[in-house]
Amino acid sequence: MSEDELELARSFHGHLGPFLALGMLIGVRALEFLRARKYFGVKVVVRCPPNPPQSCIVDGLQLSTGATYGKRNIELIPSDDIVVEFINTDTGEGIHMLISGDTIEKLKGWLNELGDEGATRMVISCGEELFELAQR
Of 15-23, 28-36, 41-49, 128-136, the window that binds Zn ion (rule: CB under 5 A) is 15-23
Q: Pick from 4, 7, 48, 52: which is nearest to 26 by CA? A: 48
Nearest CB to Zn ion, comparing residues 17 and 66? 17
Amino acid, single-letter form, for residue 43: K
Instruction: Please answer whether residues 118 and 136 qualify as being in contact, where contact means their C-beta atoms are separated by less than 8 angstroms.
Output: no
Minimum CB distance to Zn ion, residue 20 (Å)? 5
DSSP state of 67: -
Minimum CB distance to Zn ion, residue 75 (Å)? 18
If binding is defined by CB under 5 A, does position 24 make contact with Zn ion?
no
If binding is defined by CB under 5 A, does position 63 make contact with Zn ion?
no
Nearest CB to Zn ion, comparing residues 58 and 97? 58
Minimum CB distance to Zn ion, residue 77 (Å)? 19
If binding is defined by CB under 5 A, does position 56 make contact with Zn ion?
yes
18 φ/ψ sector (left φ>0, alpha ψ -120 to 50, else beta): alpha
Nearest CB to Zn ion, comparing residues 54 and 88? 54
Q: Pick from 121, 126, 85: which is nearest to 103 by CA? A: 126
Nearest CB to Zn ion, comparing residues 10 and 96? 10
Q: Which of 6, 17, 58, 82 binds Zn ion (CB under 5 A)?
A: 17
Residue 53 CB partners (closer than 8 Å, separation 6+) = 17, 18, 19, 107, 108, 111
Point out which residues bind Zn ion (CB under 5 A).
Answer: 17, 56
